[in-house]
Amino acid sequence: MLKAVLFDLDNTLYSYTHANNKGLYKSLKKFCACTNTAYKKAAAAHDRIRLELKEDLDNAPACHNRVLFYKRMFEEVKKVVDYKQVLKVYRTYWRFFYKNIKPACGLLKVMSRLRELGLKTAVVSNYVSSHQLKKLSLLKLASFFDAVVISEEVGLEKPAPGIFAYTLDKLALKPQAAVMVGDNYRADIKGAAACTIKTVLTAEFSEQPPEKQSADYHIKRLDELPGLLQRENFC
């Protein structure tokens, strides 16, 4: 019998893509103003450095820290870096990111309904803890979850089975008693399936083409989740 629902955060509970695009555009414009760099060149440098950091840091959680992206960008174009400018660009990104967070359809109703069904809920997310907690607060979800597990605190990133096992331990549950809801096939679906957790792929904000056999269940929007769980006799 189902006892808990595990959720990815970014592009599952809200549109990361929309917020990121807004934050990235504004921060790169600020960088260009500080360094007299063309926007296209700055955008290309950002994307390259992001990939380089993942490789340099062996995909450790610190590779998500955007202040490192901007620090390297400044260091590449200036012999003497004013690190106050690095922080200004970094803060610009998050100011516009947070301003543009758009929740999933019926998000609060979904979470309330899961409570009514007697289900525990948890977040399992890859990123920096301070920002993930801020997102949950802005989404008015801070009090809904029985556990919030973020890769930075565990030292493991999805799809590593260990981060899912850690979450289940916090909930005192077996894998068979949980279902994982996420948008990313590799990180969310494949990772959870490796732990024998049932999976639900949501396509509401997905940047990946749907893969018919990639998950146990598929939903187009998050507000379809309670109905799916009841229809499939999960609860």
Tokens representing residue 68 in the block: 């490192």
Q: What is the C-alpha separation between 176 and 4, in angstroms, rounded?
A: 10
120 and 224: one domain?
yes
Q: What is the DSSP letter of 196?
A: T
Give the range of the structural domain holding residue 120, as residue numbers without chain letter.
4-14+103-231
23 and 49: one domain?
yes
Tokens representing residue 122 in the block: 């948890």
- Write the pLDDT tens digit of every residue in 84-114: 999 999 999 999 999 999 999 999 999 999 9
Q: 213: pLDDT confidence band, cut at 50, 70 and 90? A: low
CATH of the domain at 164: 3.40.50.1000
Note the pTM of the prediction, 2 decimals: 0.93
198 and 120: one domain?
yes
- Write the pLDDT tens digit of every residue in 152-170: 999 999 999 999 999 999 9
87 and 132: one domain?
no
125 and 87: one domain?
no
- Stretch 61-65: mean pLDDT: 86
What pLDDT score was predicted for residue 171? 98
Please give the single-letter amino acid code of residue 14. Y
Q: How many domains does the chain have?
A: 2
Tokens representing residue 228 in the block: 């799916």
176 and 202: one domain?
yes
Q: Assess whether pLDDT exceeds 70 at residue 235.
A: no
226 and 131: one domain?
yes
- Write the pLDDT tens digit of every residue in 177-201: 999 999 999 999 999 999 999 999 9
